Amino acid sequence: MSRAGSQTRTLAEMLRRLRPHWGSDAGLPARIESMLGGDRRLGSRDRRLYRELVYTTLRYLPWIAPFIDTDPDEAARRAAWLAGDIPAVQPFRGEVAAGLPEVPAAADEKARVLACDAEALTPHWFRAECPEAFSAPLRDALLERAPLWLRLQADDPSPVLAEFDARGWAWRPSDLVAGAVRLPHGADVSATGAYASGKVEIQDVGSQRILALAGVGAGERWLDACAGAGGKTLQLASLVGPGGRVTARDTRRSALDELSVRAARSGLSGRVAIVDPSDPPSGFDAVLVDAPCTGTGTWRRAPHLKWVTTPEGVASAAALQLRLLRENAGRVRTGGRLVYATCSLCRSENAAVAQAFLNEAAGFEALLPGNTLLPQSHDGDGYFVASFRRA
């Protein structure tokens, strides 16, 4: 059997192992990494190949899944053709997808080549939440590989960028967010001196845009009410400056432990306070509620969520988001701001929640109307942000 034939068989085995889980397991990426890491046959290049092919299958599931059992060669051919153009994939694609034309950018054109239905790539229930996702340019953006974005966290970024140049990384700055830099796929940021010294943080450019739009003043006191591992917490700490303070809260202790490590590495521990999630203080100049959500804005990074998320899950997330806004509204001082954000594109989680809060929250007025950040507008994940002022 040829090498490509062996790889095709291995891919089919992996997809069959994952198939029972890809419609129900929100933690599928961890399952994929465990599968790849536990296979002693695979070297690092093999893992990069299969990781890309598996994630491509999840992006284009209706176009590939029907062939896994009946025609695994065709499943591999489609996955290889649609996969990202990375070195690990190129030799495999050259063999199994020979004869197919160069991959067009638009999903409609890909569909014509493979005689498929482009609309099948987006769950039908999503039309009521985000009709823009069923046509270009949003549909095409959600099918792309997620880019790698960093946030520069250095007064002088030139040594950081010089290190990237020395590694041969073709970096480029964002046109929309100061200090946001995109690196090529495969760049091992964690191995750099810039990362070890806290001069860069891995953070999607869309995430960075949220605080750029919300506005953060020097010397302000902020509460990050759903801090997680602290990407926005550290961004806030940089923006408020030495005279400011950021209090971080999250129900997951492990996430806060990671935040503590990141804050120490960045030299910002003195501006960040981690508090008991059950009893945060009040009187803040601003409170950020970056609420748990369905993550529909991250489908290019987490394509499995397309097939896991349900309308019931959207409704449940929206109820939790409204509750979090209610809980944190009282922690904003008079004249202060409440900032609401999600990484969802669902109207039920975004504009509907913001409006429901305004309808019931006496003393708050809209400051920043709901703003949906679509992936194609900044080459990042999709987000929603709105802010309210306490009168």
**Total Cβ atoms within 10 A of residue 93:** 23
Cβ proximity of 256 and 234 under 8 Å: no
**Total Cβ atoms within 10 A of residue 20:** 9
Torsion of CA 268, 170, 57, 379, to 10 degrees: 60
Cβ proximity of 207 and 224 under 8 Å: no
Residue 210: what are its φ and ψ, rounded to 5°?
A: -55, -50
Which of 226, 293, 343, 346 is flagged as catalytic? 343
Residue 271: what are its φ and ψ, rounded to 5°?
A: -105, -5
- What gap in Å lies between CA 284 and CA 17, rounded to an integer? 49
**Alpha-carbon distance values, 370 to 161, 215, 346, 376 (Å):** 35, 14, 12, 18
| Active-site residue flag, 343 | yes
CA angle 108, 109, 111 (to 5 degrees): 65
- What gap in Å lies between CA 250 and CA 226, rounded to an integer? 5
Q: Which residues pair with 274 in a beta bridge?
A: 248
- What gap in Å lies between CA 14 and CA 335, rounded to an integer? 55
The amino acid occupying position 185 is H
List the catalytic residues: 343
